Amino acid sequence: MRKKILLQTPTGMHDILPEEQKYYQKIFDIVSEIAKFYNFQRIETPILERTELFSTSIGLATDIVQKEMFSFRTKGGDSLTLRPEGTAPIARAFIQHGMQNLPQPVKLWYFGPFFRYEHPQAGRYRQFWQFGFEVLGAKNPVIDAQIVQIFFNIFQELKLKNVLVKVNSIGDKTCRPYYKKLLSHYLKYRIEELCENCRRRLKENPLRVLDCKEEKCQRVIHGAPQIIDHLCEECRAHFREFLEYLEELGLPYQLDTKLVRGLDYYTRTVFEFFEESEKGKEVGAIAGGGRYDNLIKMLGKQDVPGMGGAGGVERIISLIKEKAIKWPKEKKVEVFLAQLGNLAKRKSLVLIENFRKEGIPVFESLDRDSLKAQLRLADKFGVKYTLILGQKEVLEGTILLRDMVSGQQEIIKLDKILPEIKKRLKKS
């Protein structure tokens, strides 16, 4: 029993096997190309951060801080946490490395693993991967619209066709306190209708109640006052401009007045992306984000506005598989190099490197000595040509070229094999 447990991944963790890597690589390639076009620079923050970074920025009353963080004390007594999200570490790096002295705005992107202790379910793990974009030092709502556009572009490149973005404004420190009082007053009269978690949230931060997915809470939330009706003039103007930019870009969006996101550092614009199924049913958020104009000030002394978002890689992969999306096939390997004997192995190592320099991928099995076994492997890979190099060929400076379709073989000079293969592959 102990051995069986030893050979299982911990609950909520998963191996990314070779056959799965193509999905992660495809998403990474698309994200990195789009980041390059929009002049974002890649950043990698440590997987471990000080616990206080998240409790200060995300909020003590949030589910992430209260229930979902993997935290522990080091031998030296420091409290560290496996990062549950990417924005707070980037804000910390921005302050620590004096990025406020760089030309503004600073545009950063990331791609990596994150950790949350929650109930594992489809497309959601305790170790999960995200990519994200952050713009620090810009407060104009045009940046909000461009971030949303970037995520649309990524989903289009991934051939996710029915993508919709939900948007809202949650105000700022000027107008949000009044709305919180209004919401609290409404919810206190319906407290018995709320779930246990929402009763706690009501005391700590009533906005969190709007984020609840429980059916009975949804009924209460449906009649709650809407924050969009209580925005201050600046927040209202910011949100109106943001929507005008989305209209100009022709992006399909839906106003969701109950959308608040689950982190305390958000201000004004918030958004979430959904992919609709053929029957119009939402699959769940595949990306989300918003503006965080107070985060840098919360952590340091500078007053630096910010805007960003993140996409969930595993959820996106689940959708790609569910919809059986096909991408253009990668360049097929058409050549197999078979060898016999130590002398041929030595020459094969050099030959493989020559093929690499010419950009021609080659299959090989250098650890095998049986020609029959190697030819069987070449047949399994479905290559067009197999090169056979034995001791006799090495001494004569030749190599056998076998056409795997016709079965015909011919002797080619070893120093001519590269141009010959290039010529044949070009024809085919």
CB atoms within 10 A of CB 169: 27
Q: How far apart are CA 242 and CA 238, in angstroms?
A: 6
Contact 68, 81 (CB under 8 A): no
The per-residue pLDDT for 284 is 74
Query: Nearest 5°: CA angle at 246, between 245 and 251?
Result: 150
The per-residue pLDDT for 281 is 53
Enter the DSSP assignment of 227.
Answer: G
Enumerate the H helices of 286-390 as residue ranges: 295-299, 313-322, 342-357, 371-381
The per-residue pLDDT for 196 is 78
β-bridge partners, 290? 270, 308
The per-residue pLDDT for 19 is 84
The per-residue pLDDT for 120 is 62
Residues of the chain with CATH 3.40.50.800: 335-422
Residues of the chain with CATH 3.30.930.10: 2-175+231-322
Q: Which CATH architecture has domain 2-175+231-322?
A: 2-Layer Sandwich (3.30)
User: Block means of pLDDT (10 residues each) for the chain, length 428 residues?
Assistant: 68 82 92 93 94 78 70 88 91 93 94 84 78 94 92 92 90 87 83 79 78 79 84 93 92 88 83 73 79 89 90 90 75 85 87 87 85 87 89 89 88 90 83
The per-residue pLDDT for 122 is 59
Q: Output b/e per residue, 93-105; b: 16+ Cβ within 10 A.
A: bbbeeebbeeeeb
Name residue, tokens 């099995």.
365
| pTM exceeds 0.85, yes or no | no
The per-residue pLDDT for 5 is 66
CATH class as words, domain 335-422? alpha beta
Question: Of 351, 321, 325, 323, which Cα lies nearest the Cα of 336?
Answer: 351
DSSP string, 36-73: HHTT-EE----SEEEHHHHHHHT-TTSHIIIII--EEE
Question: Of 233, 210, 234, 208, which Cα lies nearest the Cα of 221?
Answer: 210
